[in-house]
């Protein structure tokens, strides 16, 4: 996996500008802040982020992948201000679950998510090197 940083560009904070990788690709559908039985335990934004990230890690594990195999994340948030206001807690949740691996990432504010209680949805692509 090669992290792409064009010469002279400011270093991205909390994500990478691009990643080049080859191997078996794993595509994780959008994960929200409920558990494996579709139950929410919090309406707190950072709490839902933590659960959504844990859901991502759990799905990746089914394919023999780990957080460091993630090459791309897309975050859909229903409230940009809520997302920015929880940045410290979100950062801590991210480091606790994913670690200090920062893939290419996009965050988009959306009008709503399908599940009314969901505050965030996170979609992931991972690549595991093949032997």
pLDDT tens column, 18-74: 888 899 999 999 999 999 999 999 999 999 999 999 999 999 999 999 999 999 999
How many independent structural domains does the chain possess? Answer: 1
pLDDT at 131 over 80: no
Sign (positive/negative) of CA torsion 58, 63, 65, 69?
negative
Q: Which residues pair with 125 in a beta bridge?
A: 27, 72
Q: What pTM did the predictor assign?
A: 0.92
Domain that holds residue 102: 2-128
Could you tell me the CATH number of the domain that includes residue 21? Answer: 3.30.1330.40
Q: What is the DSSP letter of 16?
A: B
Convert the pLDDT of each residue in 70-126 to its tens digit.
999 999 999 999 999 999 999 999 999 999 999 999 999 999 999 999 999 999 999
Question: What distances in angstroms separate CA 83 from CA 22, 31, 88, one per listed residue?
Answer: 32, 16, 10
């Amino acid at each position: 996996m090669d992290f792409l940083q064009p010469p002279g560009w400011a270093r991205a904070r909390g994500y990478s500008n691009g990643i080049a990788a080859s191997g078996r690709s794993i595509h994780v559908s959008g994960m929200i802040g409920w558990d494996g039985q579709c139950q929410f335990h919090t309406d707190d934004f950072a709490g839902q982020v933590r659960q959504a990230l844990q859901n991502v890690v759990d799905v990746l594990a089914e394919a023999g992948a780990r957080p460091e195999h993630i090459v791309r994340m897309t975050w859909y948030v229903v409230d940009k201000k809520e997302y920015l206001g929880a940045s410290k807690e979100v950062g801590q949740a991210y480091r606790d679950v994913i670690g200090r691996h920062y893939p290419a990432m996009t965050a988009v504010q959306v009008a709503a998510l399908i599940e009314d209680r969901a505050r965030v949805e996170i979609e992931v692509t991972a690549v595991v090197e093949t032997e």
